[in-house]
Amino acid sequence: MPRYAMAIDLAACVGCAACSVACKLENEVPVGVNRLWIRSTELGTFPHLTVEYRPEQCLHCANPPCVPVCPTGCCYIGEGGLVLLEERRCIGCAACIAACPYDARYMHPAGYVGKCDFCEHRVRAGRVPACVETCPTLCRYFGDLDDPNSTVSVALREAGRVDVLRPELGTKPKLFYLNTPAKFGLAGNHQEVVS
């Protein structure tokens, strides 16, 4: 069984949102909610600056807080380790939305929850997710973590630096960020202290 993961090279990403719009059309996500969005953070003072453009989406955690809280069992870990949601069985209770520390889930206006599923329908057909295929900076890598020759494994191995969002939560994300522009890692990670 593969263990699907994605890596995003922040040294390449320009925050153009091609991924975000492609995702919206591919997955029929209505305006007002998003499976995938860009967070840009300005760091430093003039003229010693950097900007982190960071696409965010479901991290497909190996230890996802959203799954156990689902009362209907419609949230589950599917084949290949994808964190999935059976929309048809969702009652829209939003427990998973509250449980996700990454704000990766949204309420579809029709009353069920939506989220990134790594384009499961494409992955099943042997294709990469829509965001990976279209990125004009080629900053996204997708594949099987257990295959040392997969594009994602190679990218992780060759990266100067690898980060995940809020590792202290123990969620074990399978969305990795490579080569953060700031030396200290992902913007926000180091100050994400819960009092």
Centre a 10 Å sphere on the Cβ of residue 129 and count the other Cβ atoms it contains. Answer: 26
What are the tokens at 8? 């995003």
Looking at the DSSP bridge assignments, the partners of residue 77 are: 83
Q: Which is nearer to other proteins, 47 or 126 (CB)?
A: 47
Smallest gap, in angstroms, from Cβ of residue 23 to other proteins? 9
Dihedral angle computed from the Cα positions of residues 90, 94, 99 and 104, in that order, rounded to the nearest 10 degrees: 80
* Residues 108 and 33: beta-carbon distance below 8 Å: yes
CA distance 187 to 102: 14
For residue 146, the minimal CB distance to other proteins (Å) is: 25
- Nearest approach in angstroms of CB 43 to other proteins is 9
- Nearer of residues 47 and 149 to other proteins, judged by Cβ: 47
1 vs 25, which CB is nearer to other proteins?
Answer: 25
Write out the residues near other proteins by the rule CB under 8 A: 9, 11-12, 14-18, 20-22, 24-28, 30-34, 38, 42, 44-47, 49-51, 53, 71-72, 87-95, 97-98, 103, 107-112, 121, 133-139, 181, 194-195
Report, in Å, the least distance between residue 117 CB and other proteins.
11
**Which CB, 1 or 31, lies closer to other proteins?**
31
Burial of 94 (0-12, 13-18, 19+ CB in 10 A): middle
